[in-house]
Chain A
Amino acid sequence: MTDGFGYAWQALTTTPAVFAAMGGVVWGILGGALPGISPSITMALLLPFTYSMEPITAIVLLASTYVGAEYGGSIPAILIRTPGTNSAAATAIDGYEMHKRGRGGEALGISLTSGVMGGLIGLVFLAGLTEPLAKVALVFTPPAYFALGILGISVIASLSEGSLIKGLMAGVFGLMVATVGTDPLSGVSRFTYGSPELLGGIPFILVMVGVFAVSELLVQASEPEWAKTGSVQTRMKLPSFKMHKKLLKPNLIGSGIGIFEGCMPGAGGTIASFMSYNEARRWSKHPEEFGKGSPEAIAAPEAANNAVASTALVPTLSFGIPGSNSTAVLLGGLLIHGLQPGPLLFEKHPDVIYGLFGGLFVANASMFIIGMLVLTPTIWLVNRPKPYLMAAIYALIFSGVYTIDHSLFDLTLVLIAGAAGYLMRQLGFPFLPLVLGLVLGYLIEANYRRSLLLTGGDHIVFLRDPVSLGLLLTALVFVIGSAWRDIRSARRKGAADKADGSAPA
Chain B
Amino acid sequence: MTRDAWIGVVFLAFAIVYWIAADGIRISPLDGPVTAAGLPKSLAYVLGTLAVLLILRSLALKRTKGGEPVRAADAAPPDDAERPALYRHLRALGMLAFGIGYLLVVPYVGYPLAIVCLMLGVAVYIGARFGAKTAAIAGLGGLFFYLLFVQILDIPLPEGIWPTLFGTLQG
Binding site for B on A (CB under 8 A): 161-163, 165-166, 168-169, 172-173, 175-176, 179, 183, 185-191, 214, 217-222, 225, 385-388, 390-392, 394-396, 398-399, 402-403, 406, 408, 411-412, 415, 418-419, 422, 425-430, 445, 448-449, 452-453, 456-457, 485-486, 489-491, 493-494, 497-498, 503-504
Query: Can you identify 18 A-B contacts, CB atoms within 8 angstroms?
Result: A161-B71, A188-B28, A191-B40, A387-B128, A388-B128, A395-B119, A396-B145, A398-B115, A403-B153, A408-B158, A422-B92, A426-B76, A449-B38, A452-B32, A452-B33, A453-B32, A493-B67, A494-B66
Asked if B113 is at the interface of the complex by the 8 Å CB criterion, the answer is no
Distance in Å from the Cβ of B74 to the closest Cβ of chain A?
7
Bound complex: CA A353 to CA B147 (Å): 34
Binding site for A on B (CB under 8 A): 3-4, 7, 11, 18, 21-22, 25-28, 30-40, 43, 46-47, 50-51, 53-54, 57, 61, 64-77, 83, 85, 87-89, 91-92, 94-96, 98-100, 102-103, 106-107, 111, 115, 118-120, 122-128, 134, 137-138, 141-142, 145, 148-149, 153, 155-158
For A486, the chain B residues whose CB sits under 8 A away are: 69, 71
For B94, the chain A residues whose CB sits under 8 A away are: 221
Known pairs A188-B28, A190-B36, A411-B103; A504 contacts B65 (CB<8 A) = yes
Pick the contact of A190 from B25, B89, B141 — CB < 8 Å? B25
Pick the contact of B99 from A173, A398, A426 — CB < 8 Å? A398
Pick the contact of A172 from B47, B72, B75 — CB < 8 Å? B47
Pick the contact of A191 from B7, B21, B50, B156 — CB < 8 Å? B21
Whether A176 contacts B18 by the Cβ 8 Å rule is yes
Whether B67 contacts A497 by the Cβ 8 Å rule is yes
For B73, the chain A residues whose CB sits under 8 A away are: 161
Distance in Å from the Cβ of B22 to the closest Cβ of chain A?
8
Whether B64 contacts A221 by the Cβ 8 Å rule is no
For A452, the chain B residues whose CB sits under 8 A away are: 32-34
Known pairs A186-B28, A491-B66; A427 contacts B7 (CB<8 A) = yes
Bound complex: CA A189 to CA B21 (Å): 12
* Smallest CB gap from A182: residue in B: B36
Pick the contact of A395 from B18, B46, B64, B115 — CB < 8 Å? B115
For B37, the chain A residues whose CB sits under 8 A away are: 190
Whether A408 contacts B106 by the Cβ 8 Å rule is yes
With A394-B98, A399-B155 given, name 15 new contacts (CB 8 A): A169-B51, A217-B95, A218-B95, A221-B126, A387-B126, A387-B128, A388-B137, A391-B126, A395-B141, A402-B149, A419-B96, A449-B32, A457-B33, A486-B69, A486-B71
Whether A166 contacts B40 by the Cβ 8 Å rule is no
For A172, the chain B residues whose CB sits under 8 A away are: 43, 46-47, 50
Interface SS, B side: helix
Whether A489 contacts B32 by the Cβ 8 Å rule is no
Q: Which 6 A-B pairs have the closest CB atoms?
A: A457-B33, A494-B66, A489-B69, A387-B126, A222-B91, A387-B128
Most buried by B among A162, A388, A430: A388
Whether B99 contacts A214 by the Cβ 8 Å rule is yes
Distance in Å from the Cβ of A180 to the closest Cβ of chain B?
9
Distance in Å from the Cβ of B16 to the closest Cβ of chain A?
13
For A406, the chain B residues whose CB sits under 8 A away are: 155-156
Whether B32 contacts A494 by the Cβ 8 Å rule is no
Bound complex: CA A28 to CA B51 (Å): 39
Distance in Å from the Cβ of B138 to the closest Cβ of chain A?
7
Distance in Å from the Cβ of B153 to the closest Cβ of chain A?
7
Whether B145 contacts A186 by the Cβ 8 Å rule is no
Bound complex: CA A428 to CA B4 (Å): 9
Known pairs A172-B50, A186-B31; A165 contacts B153 (CB<8 A) = no
Whether B34 contacts A449 by the Cβ 8 Å rule is yes
Distance in Å from the Cβ of A402 to the closest Cβ of chain B?
6
Whether A490 contacts B69 by the Cβ 8 Å rule is yes
For B70, the chain A residues whose CB sits under 8 A away are: 489
Most buried by B among A392, A394, A406: A394
Bound complex: CA A398 to CA B155 (Å): 13
For B127, the chain A residues whose CB sits under 8 A away are: 225, 385-387
Whether A161 contacts B75 by the Cβ 8 Å rule is yes
Whether A165 contacts B69 by the Cβ 8 Å rule is no
Whether A456 contacts B33 by the Cβ 8 Å rule is yes
Known pairs A425-B76, A485-B71; A391 contacts B141 (CB<8 A) = yes
Bound complex: CA A5 to CA B86 (Å): 57
Distance in Å from the Cβ of A414 to the closest Cβ of chain B?
8
For B7, the chain A residues whose CB sits under 8 A away are: 427
Whether B43 contacts A179 by the Cβ 8 Å rule is yes
Whether B50 contacts A169 by the Cβ 8 Å rule is yes
* Smallest CB gap from B90: residue in A: A222
* Smallest CB gap from A491: residue in B: B66
Known pairs A221-B125, A386-B127; A165 contacts B64 (CB<8 A) = no
Whether A415 contacts B43 by the Cβ 8 Å rule is no
Known pairs A386-B126, A387-B123; A186 contacts B35 (CB<8 A) = yes
Distance in Å from the Cβ of A112 to the closest Cβ of chain B?
27
Pick the contact of B92 from A185, A218, A385 — CB < 8 Å? A218
Whether B67 contacts A387 by the Cβ 8 Å rule is no
Whether A186 contacts B128 by the Cβ 8 Å rule is no
Bound complex: CA A245 to CA B133 (Å): 51
For A489, the chain B residues whose CB sits under 8 A away are: 69-71
Pick the contact of A188 from B11, B25, B106, B128 — CB < 8 Å? B25
For A388, the chain B residues whose CB sits under 8 A away are: 123, 128, 134, 137, 141
Distance in Å from the Cβ of B94 to the closest Cβ of chain A?
7
Distance in Å from the Cβ of A362 to the closest Cβ of chain B?
24
Pick the contact of B118 from A219, A391, A425 — CB < 8 Å? A391
* Smallest CB gap from A397: residue in B: B99
Pick the contact of A490 from B54, B64, B142 — CB < 8 Å? B64
Pick the contact of B65 from A395, A412, A457, A497 — CB < 8 Å? A497
Bound complex: CA A161 to CA B72 (Å): 5
Bound complex: CA A273 to CA B18 (Å): 42
